[in-house]
């Protein structure tokens, strides 16, 4: 089976100014994104990740290289029909209601007329936007905009969903909701490509990651593989007394192991925030 | 065929949302109210008239409103509708779907043209109403004095509305082609406005072509001007159609209408080609 | 080549639309007589362009006319004439514009020119006469142009006749205009009498009498009171021409 996205030797140069100075945004990038996984594309601002996604979607032309989506050449109608996209900081026509927007996108995506209604309701349900679906988009909060953007991206049941900074500017509760949507999609066997520079979130939701810097790929692999330090271990111990600690250190030393640090485990601030304000959904 | 149908449907959806977006704009409402006020006020301004035919004076307000405000609307609104999609990045969302750029541009055109159709029809209906009311008064006065009353042609007004709508369609297609190339809204509006003025004055070159000249360079310039710049003046035969000030050759309206449709198609082709190369 | 073929196609399409527009333009060109007038060229930069572009021609013509009157008060010959001619070109169907432009050019401009040259005391009489005639000829030309473009012709014929009679002192020309005016369906009652008088003054006494008699008999006698003042004029002519009683107009019952 072909990869969800296959990028081979992709290069993109932008011409700047009247003299046409060349700025290389993507430099000989090769990537294989497998199907059925959540794939994180990471990197600092301006590293070329959004440009790469735009080239994949056919919104920007490549200077060199080949790209295919689900076995089809990118930028073709067949490839786009099976792809959903949520752009960074999405903006939609304010006068449409959420339901009208999702219906409009379903129709543009080629959903059959007799199944548009069900597809729209499914997508709204997945994005937890059913209750607010009849309000004009102009009244939505930032988190709701992201969620309705997610709904329009998945309304035609695509095999591949590309999310560009889906949680930028969204509070942790909204971020968690989007994380849940991503997991739901993965559970349905979809491939999700997540482009973000919020490392904590990527770590939580992604199966694989690629890190880009200055247009080049610097690291690629499964999250567990790239983050794990095989020469270090962490044990979490309950009710440890000083005597127990001394005994444990002595026992480890007898086997040539050395305890380098002992600390109390910490919750992340994000976990604490979500625990405290849980249920305060911004609908 | 199913592909064609699906393509038409997508175009229709884009044009529907474009239409809804445009009619909600305050700019449209402002120009429509201003033009309508201009037509209605023409009756009061008759006292400032210097002996023109009275119906002509009233009709001129309507023609002027359609020409001037219609052109402003066609240029500014079309550029605004295009650049709002680009600047707000809604185009990113739409063009990532199985929607071709030609369908997107065509949808924008149809939506904007439909709004201009509403503008022209509302204005022409008001003008027709004012002309009809005044014509009735003039006929009554003429019967008393035994003179031949001035009249207007409602059918001619309908033909004129069609021609004005086509003229605004040509302007819309040009502005979309310019917008597809332009990086900023301001550039599109300025160049679009200049294109309208050039189009209105193109007949000077077309008249000059008919006269012989010794200069090859001059003839070459005229040839290019006549072929590339649309002749927008040919749509302005309101006086002849509505008031019968001059004769209109049989079939002339159909010829002008066909010319307008050819221009619209040609400029949309150029716009589509330019837009296909644009990086969103 | 394949890369450029859509562009070549688009260029050919636009050029084709341009070629077809020549045909459609030829068909509608006679329906837009207001544009393409040389008279508009000097004033295009003064707001007249809007009228040329399309729509609002009447309004722009009115505004142009009002501005021409400001220049009339300042006795600016060139500016006033240019703006008045522009108003005529913008709305060639307006009798008012043609009438007043002809009057101003034919009667006023010569006086302004004489004043500019130092006044009536300084400018020799023959130069004054030449100026009067020169401007009067231009005035008559304006009336002629108005006659060919405006729908209302009789008043313009009378204006041209009056100018030819008073300023050009060309009685033949004046009589020709009066005659045309008198023969028009909407001729005013005085046109025929003045026409005969001008012909008479031109030395064509018998011709004047015959024409006026035929006119009175066919168009005046059957109407209202039979126009006794005009009959009185005819009787005066008969007296001067010493016509025999049988050659004279038979006496109507109402004649005193």
Read off φ and ψ for residue B222, nearest 5 degrees: -65, -40
DSSP C29: G
What separation in angstroms does the CA of C79 have from each of B158, C75, C217? 40, 9, 49
Which residue in A78, A80, A93 is closest to B97 by CB distance?
A: A80
> Chain A residues with CB inside 8 Å of B17's CB?
93, 96, 104
- Which of A5, A93, A113 best tests the B interface by mutation, with the highest count of B CBs <10 A? A93
If you average pLDDT over residues B84-97, what whole number do you get?
Answer: 89
A215: left (phi over 0), alpha (psi -120 to 50) or beta: left
Domain range enclosing C222: 189-256
- The tokens describing A253, both together, are 């030393």
Q: Searching chain B, which residue's CA lies closest to the CA of residue A161?
A: B96
Q: If you average pLDDT over each of A19-33, B9-23, C78-92, which comes out highest?
A: B9-23
Contact status of B6 with chain A (Cβ, < 8 Å): yes
What confidence score (pLDDT) does residue A281 get? Answer: 46
Contact status of B249 with chain C (Cβ, < 8 Å): yes
- CA-CA distance, B56 to B69, in Å (whole number)? 19
What's the longest Cα–Cα distance across chain C? 100
Question: Which of these ranges, A44-53, B10-19, C121-130, has the smallest mean pLDDT?
Answer: A44-53
Which residue in A61, A77, A87 is closest to B98 by CB distance?
A: A77
Is C100 part of a structural domain of the chain?
no
Is C239 part of a structural domain of the chain?
yes
| Contact yes or no for A268/A200 (Cβ under 8 A) | yes
Choice between A283 and A232, residue whose per-residue pLDDT is larger:
A232
Q: Searching chain A, which residue's CA lies closest to the CA of residue B96?
A: A57
Per-residue pLDDT band for A282 (boundaries 50, 70, 90) equals: very low
Q: Searching chain C, which residue's CA lies closest to the CA of residue B60?
A: C56
If you average pLDDT over residues A54-78, what whole number do you get?
Answer: 87
Q: Searching chain A, which residue's CA lies closest to the CA of residue B88?
A: A91
If you average pLDDT over residues C39-62, what whole number do you get?
Answer: 66
Q: Searching chain B, which residue's CA lies closest to the CA of residue A56?
A: B96
Give the CA dihedral C145, C146, C152, C154, nearest 10 degrees.
-70
pLDDT tens column, C217-228: 888 777 777 677
Cβ neighbours for C23, distance < 8 A, ≥ 6 positions apart = B255, B259
Distance from CA of C196 to the nearest CA of B (A): 28
CA nearest to B278, candidates B140, B85, B118: B85
| Inter-chain Cβ pairs, chain A and chain B, closer than 8 A | 72
Per-residue pLDDT band for C36 (boundaries 50, 70, 90) equals: low
Per-residue pLDDT band for B80 (boundaries 50, 70, 90) equals: very high
Contact status of B262 with chain A (Cβ, < 8 Å): no
Interface of C with B (CB under 8 A): 6-7, 9-10, 13-25, 27-36, 50, 52-59, 61-62, 65, 91, 93-97
Which residue in A61, A77, A96 is closest to B279 by CB distance?
A: A61
Beta carbons of B237 and C28 less than 8 Å apart: yes
| Inter-chain Cβ pairs, chain B and chain C, closer than 8 A | 161
If you average pLDDT over residues A258-282, what whole number do you get?
Answer: 69
- The tokens describing C87, both together, are 């108003």
pLDDT exceeds 80 at position C245? yes
- CA-CA distance, B269 to C7, in Å (whole number)? 9
Which residue in C16, C24, C96 is closest to B255 by CB distance?
A: C24
| Contact yes or no for B55/B135 (Cβ under 8 A) | yes
Mean pLDDT of chain C: 85
CATH number of A5-229: 3.40.50.300
What separation in angstroms does the CA of C238 have from each of C114, C178, C220, C235? 44, 21, 18, 5
Percent of chain A's residues with pLDDT above 90: 30
pLDDT tens column, C154-205: 899 999 999 999 888 888 999 999 999 988 888 888 888 999 998 998 888 8
Which residue in A60, A95, A110 is closest to B24 by CB distance?
A: A95
Q: Give chain C's domain count.
A: 1
Domain range enclosing B218: 2-276
What confidence score (pLDDT) does residue C37 get? Answer: 61
> Hunting for tokens 């700047």 — which residue is that?
A16
Q: Give chain B's domain count.
A: 1
* pTM across the whole model: 0.80
Q: Domain-by-domain residue ranges, chain A?
A: 5-229
How large is the angle between the packed helices A116-126 and A172-187, nearest 10 degrees? 130
| Contact yes or no for A179/A204 (Cβ under 8 A) | yes
Query: Parallel, antiparallel, or unpaired for β A38-42 and A208-213?
Result: parallel
Is C246 part of a structural domain of the chain?
yes
Interface of A with B (CB under 8 A): 54, 57-61, 77-78, 80-81, 83, 85-87, 89-93, 95-96, 104-105, 107-110, 149, 152, 162
Question: Could you count the other beta carbons within 10 Å of the beta carbon of residue B37?
Answer: 13
A–B contact (≥3 CB pairs within 8 Å)?
yes
Percent of chain C's residues with pLDDT above 70: 90
Which residue in A58, A77, A87 is closest to B93 by CB distance?
A: A87
Q: By three-state DSSP, how is residue A191 classified?
A: strand
- CA-CA distance, B212 to B215, in Å (whole number)? 9
> Chain B residues with CB inside 8 Å of A78's CB?
98
Q: H-helix or E-strand containing A34?
A: none
**DSSP codes, A255-274:** TT------------HHHHHH
What separation in angstroms does the CA of A282 have from each of A91, A123, A129, A149, A173? 18, 18, 10, 15, 9
What confidence score (pLDDT) does residue B16 get? Answer: 94
């Amino acid at each position: 089976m072909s990869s969800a996205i296959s990028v081979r030797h992709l290069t993109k140069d932008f011409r700047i100014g009247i003299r046409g100075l060349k700025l290389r945004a993507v430099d000989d990038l090769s990537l294989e994104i497998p199907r059925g996984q959540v794939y994180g594309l990471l990197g600092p601002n301006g590293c070329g990740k959004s440009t790469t996604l735009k080239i994949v979607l056919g919104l920007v032309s490549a200077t060199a290289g080949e790209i295919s989506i689900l076995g089809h050449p990118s930028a073709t109608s067949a490839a786009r029909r099976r792809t959903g996209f949520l752009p960074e900081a999405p903006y939609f026509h304010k006068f449409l209601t959420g339901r009208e927007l999702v219906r409009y996108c379903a129709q543009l995506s080629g959903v059959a007329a007799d199944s548009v209604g069900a597809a729209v309701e499914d997508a709204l349900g997945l994005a937890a936007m059913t209750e607010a679906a009849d309000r004009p988009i102009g009244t939505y909060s930032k988190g709701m905009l992201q969620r309705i953007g997610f709904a329009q991206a998945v309304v035609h049941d695509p095999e591949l969903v590309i999310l560009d900074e889906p949680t930028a500017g969204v509070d942790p509760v909204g971020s968690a909701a989007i994380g849940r949507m991503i997991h739901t999609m993965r559970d349905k066997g979809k491939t999700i490509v997540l482009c973000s520079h919020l490392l904590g979130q990527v770590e939580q939701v992604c199966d694989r990651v690629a890190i880009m810097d200055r247009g080049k790929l610097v690291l690629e692999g499964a999250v567990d593989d790239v983050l794990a330090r095989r020469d270090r271990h962490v044990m979490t111990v309950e009710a440890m007394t000083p005597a127990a600690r001394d005994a444990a250190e002595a026992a480890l030393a007898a086997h040539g192991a050395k305890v380098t640090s002992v600390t109390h485990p910490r919750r992340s601030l994000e976990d604490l925030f979500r625990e405290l304000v849980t249920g305060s959904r911004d609908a | 065929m199913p592909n064609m149908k699906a393509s038409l449907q997508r175009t229709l959806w884009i044009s529907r949302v474009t239409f809804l977006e445009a009619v909600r704009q305050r700019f449209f409402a402002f120009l429509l109210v201003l033009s309508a006020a201009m037509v209605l006020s023409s009756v009061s301004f008759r006292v400032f008239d210097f002996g023109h035919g009275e119906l002509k004076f009233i009709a001129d307000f309507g023609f002027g409103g359609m020409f001037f405000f219609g052109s402003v609307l066609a240029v500014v609104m079309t550029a605004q509708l295009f650049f709002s999609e680009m600047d707000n990045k809604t185009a990113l969302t739409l063009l990532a779907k199985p929607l071709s750029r030609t369908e997107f541009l065509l949808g924008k055109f149809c939506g904007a043209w439909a709004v201009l159709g509403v503008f022209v029809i509302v204005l022409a209906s008001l003008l027709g109403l004012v002309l009809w009311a005044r014509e009735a008064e003039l006929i009554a006065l003429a019967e008393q004095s035994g003179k031949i009353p001035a009249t207007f042609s409602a059918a001619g007004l309908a033909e004129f509305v069609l021609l004005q709508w086509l003229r605004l369609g040509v302007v819309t297609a040009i502005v979309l082609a310019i917008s597809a190339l332009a990086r900023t809204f301001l550039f599109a509006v300025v160049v679009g406005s200049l294109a309208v003025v050039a189009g209105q004055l193109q007949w000077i070159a077309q008249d000059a072509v008919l006269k012989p000249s010794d200069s090859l360079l001059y003839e070459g310039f005229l040839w290019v001007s006549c072929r590339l710049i649309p002749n927008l003046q040919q749509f302005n035969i309101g006086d002849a159609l509505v008031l019968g000030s001059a004769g209109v050759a049989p079939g002339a309206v159909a010829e002008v209408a066909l010319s307008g449709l050819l221009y619209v198609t040609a400029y949309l082709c150029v716009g589509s080609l330019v837009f296909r190369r644009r990086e969103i | 080549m394949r890369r450029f073929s859509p562009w070549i196609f688009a260029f050919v399409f636009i050029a084709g639309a341009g070629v077809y527009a020549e045909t459609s333009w030829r068909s509608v060109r006679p329906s837009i007589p207001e544009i393409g007038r040389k008279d508009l060229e000097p004033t295009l930069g003064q707001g007249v362009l809007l009228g040329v572009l399309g729509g609002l021609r009447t309004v722009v013509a009115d505004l142009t006319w009002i501005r021409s009157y400001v220049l009339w008060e300042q006795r600016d010959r060139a500016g006033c004439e240019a703006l008045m001619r522009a108003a005529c070109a913008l709305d060639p169907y307006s009798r008012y514009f043609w009438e007043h432009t002809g009057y101003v050019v034919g009667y006023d401009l010569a006086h302004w020119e004489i004043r500019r040259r130092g006044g009536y005391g300084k400018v020799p009489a023959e130069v004054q006469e030449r100026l009067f005639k020169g401007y009067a000829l231009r005035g008559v030309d304006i009336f002629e142009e108005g006659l060919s473009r405006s729908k209302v012709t009789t008043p313009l014929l009378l204006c041209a006749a009056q100018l030819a009679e008073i300023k050009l002192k060309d009685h033949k020309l004046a009589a020709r205009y009066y005659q045309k005016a008198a023969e028009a369906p909407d001729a005013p009652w005085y046109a025929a009498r003045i026409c005969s008088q001008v012909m008479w003054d031109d030395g064509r006494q018998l011709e004047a009498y015959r024409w006026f008699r035929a006119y009175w008999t066919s168009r005046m006698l059957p109407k209202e009171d039979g126009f006794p003042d005009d009959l009185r004029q005819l009787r005066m002519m008969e007296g001067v021409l010493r016509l025999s009683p049988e050659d004279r107009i038979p006496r109507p019952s109402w004649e005193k």
